[in-house]
Amino acid sequence: MACFLVPTGEAIVTTILTKAFKSKEKAELTPVSDEIHEAVSSKIPFSKKLSWLNNMLWGGSALLAFEHIWHGEVVPWFPFLTAMESPEEATAMLHEMSTVGVSMAVLVTAVWGIMVMTSDIIMKGKEMDVEGEEL
Amino acid sequence: MTLLITVFAACITTVLWYKNASDDSMKLGFLALMYWGASLMWMCDAIFEYKELGAEFFTPETADMINDSFLGLSVVALGMVIWLVQLIVKDPKGIVRKSISKKM
């Protein structure tokens, strides 16, 4: 009915967070020396990791919105959601958003969390390899 | 069927991204993440539907299957259009900019 609105809401929040982190990282990433610059650039910035979540949430929401248009659940005129036309359907829609919609957002975020953890482990392994070579 | 087609699209795009990982100029990672995002969301939807319908979920009507297949293919096409627009707007290789400046 309108389950995609929950991940869309999350996508708006994460996009704002990404912009904030990006400007914070830019301010912090003024290289003092080549050595520091090298150490900093070997890590994946958090804003880059957040952009993975953004892409999954925005992309998924856009494709799901298309599915809702296909099924006639989203229309180009007010109130845009056909479920809003009767109170019973609106209640069912809110129930679906709180169950299916929230589960979608949680699942995508959980998968992103696993991606971030995996990339951190890989980067740590790479760092240890470089340190081992230096010794 | 929509979920299945999107998962296939996500897998193929991920393999292509992996193969060309050293050259990210085609921004295939964006397309792969978009398909994975949609696949995860539809998987969630499928789990809830399975909880409601039980084994009936795996035996859809032929008409529903055809409609879902059309939807799946349309979703893949829409994803590719979004990716193409993003690629042309960001223009990582500068090809669009070059061709426009040549015409001027």
Quote the number of domains for chain A.
1
A 56-95 near B (Cβ less than 8 A):
56-64, 66-67, 70
Partner-chain residue, chosen from A66, A99, A104, that has the shortest CB–CB distance to B41 = A104
pLDDT at A39: 53
Residue A34 has pLDDT above 70, yes or no: no
Q: CB A59 to CB B82 under 8 A?
A: yes
Of the listed ranges A25-34, A93-102, B3-12, B48-57, the one predicted with least confidence: A25-34
Question: Closest Cα partner for B34 from B86, B88, B70?
Answer: B86
**Dist CA A81 CA A101 (whole Å):** 15
Residue A13 reports pLDDT greater than 60: yes
pLDDT band at A84 (very low <50, low <70, confident <90, very high): confident
- Band (pLDDT 50/70/90 cuts) for residue A5 is very high
Structural domain boundaries, residue B38: 2-103
What residues form DSSP beta bridges with A74?
A: A81
**Nearest by Cα to A60 from B73, B33, B74, B71:** B33
The distance of A82 to chain B (nearest Cα, Å) reads: 19
Q: Which residues contact A108 (CB under 8 A, 6 or more apart)?
A: A7, A10, A53, A56, A57, A60, B37, B40, B41
pLDDT surpassing 60 at residue A79: yes
For residue B57, the 8-state DSSP code is G
Domains held by chain B: number = 1
Would you list the DSSP string of A61-113? HHHHHHHHHHTTSB-SSTTSBGGGGSHHHHHHHHHHIIIIIHHHHHHHHHHHH
Contact A63 B34 (CB under 8 A): yes
Q: Do B33 and A67 touch (CB under 8 A)?
A: no
Count of residues making up chain A = 135
pLDDT category at B48 given cuts 50, 70, 90 is: very high
Secondary structure letter of residue B93 according to DSSP: T
The model's pLDDT over B6-33, given as tens digits with 9 standing for 90+, comes to: 999 999 999 999 998 888 888 899 999 9
Instruction: With cut-offs at 50, 70 and 90, classify the pLDDT of residue A113.
Output: very high
Cα(B50)–Cα(B40) distance, integer angstroms: 15
Range of the domain at A74: 5-134
Contact A111 B40 (CB under 8 A): yes
Q: A52 — contact with chain B (CB < 8 Å)?
A: yes
pLDDT digits (tens, 9 = 90+) for A37-59: 555 556 788 899 999 999 999 99
Residue A123's DSSP bridge partners are none
